[in-house]
Amino acid sequence: MAESAVAPSATKSNAVQLTPVEAFRACVLIDEALRQLSFVSKLVPAGHTARRDELSLSKGDDIVRMIQEQSSLQEKFKELTDSKQQLRGLSNIEKLKSVEAELEEVSQKLREANKELCRNLKQNPNLQENAVKLQLERQKVEEWYADVRDELQDAYTFKSLQDRVAQEKHQQEKLNEVKKRTRESAQAVRLLEAELKKETAEYEREMKQTNAEISSLKEELQQNRLKSSLKLSFEEKQLAAQEQALLRVFQQKEIELQRQLAKELSEAYLEEFAHTEILKFSREYIQNV
């Protein structure tokens, strides 16, 4: 980075103020870095062209088209940045303003293209994601370098870079905090899952034991019902047999009593007949005497 190659001379409102010589040296280093990044970015479209069929199969022609459009916008951004650099210090203010406006428009298109490409890549992930991510990061670095170079040339400072670094650091800290909370949440989820698994196993064990007890009680109840049914059937048959035996005894006694009654009636009839005859004979005898 440029700030590592030069020494700050003053500080104002948390911004490092450089001397014109220091700013010029930093601009030279930044221009060299931009040329190297531009050279690297020119290698990307060729690689993408060679792998176009593979990308078309995995992501579709739309993503390939967006990558190519983004490369074209990067080239346009580089050309406009160079034009703006050449127009500085000249009297053609209108031309400079036109280039700056066009540069702002291209920068806005690049940001929108980045958002659209990222959205499509999230919806359609593939094996080329790392390469595309590197391309996006390289484009962001180019924009940062160009802005820092302009700021160094205008105000001999690089406060925008400091602000961006601080912002990136803050975002990284937030990301680390989110990752930490995510890890803690994942750990809590794992603990809850382990506890749930333990409780589920305990519940299944208790249910298995309860089902075994219920099955045993059902079997015992079935056996008791069978025993009760057999006992009841036996007692019913036994009572029926006793009833039949008593009926036979009563019938036999009834027959004997009927016979005895008939005999006694016969004897009573004979006795009455004899008494009548004796009485009749006695009367006749008395009358004859």
pLDDT at res. 5: 39
Rounded CA separation 80/110 (Å) = 13
Domain residues for the domain of 91 are: 17-157
Is there a domain that residue 248 lies in? Answer: no
Is there a domain that residue 107 lies in? Answer: yes
Is there a domain that residue 167 lies in? Answer: no
Is 113's pLDDT higher than 60? yes
Is 9's pLDDT higher than 60? no
Is 166's pLDDT higher than 80? yes
Higher pLDDT, 167 or 77: 167
pLDDT in tens, 189-198: 888 888 889 9
Maximum mean pLDDT: which of 122-136, 139-153, 262-276? 262-276
Q: How many domains does the chain have?
A: 1
Q: How confident is the model at residue 204 (pLDDT cuts 50, 70, 90)?
A: very high
Is there a domain that residue 59 lies in? Answer: yes
Residue 186 burial (10 A CB sphere; 0-12, 13-18, 19+): exposed
Bridge partners of residue 17, in order along the sequence: 10, 157
Q: Which two tokens stand for residue 198?
A: 């333990």
Is there a domain that residue 27 lies in? Answer: yes
Q: What is the mean pLDDT of the chain?
A: 77
Are 152 and 26 spatial neighbours (Cβ–Cβ below 8 Å)? yes
Is there a domain that residue 55 lies in? Answer: yes
Is there a domain that residue 284 lies in? Answer: no
**pTM for the whole thing?**
0.36
Q: How confident is the model at residue 215 (pLDDT cuts 50, 70, 90)?
A: very high
Is there a domain that residue 102 lies in? Answer: yes
Q: Which of 54-58, 130-134, 196-200, 270-274 is the least confident region?
A: 54-58
CATH number of the domain to which 39 belongs: 1.10.287
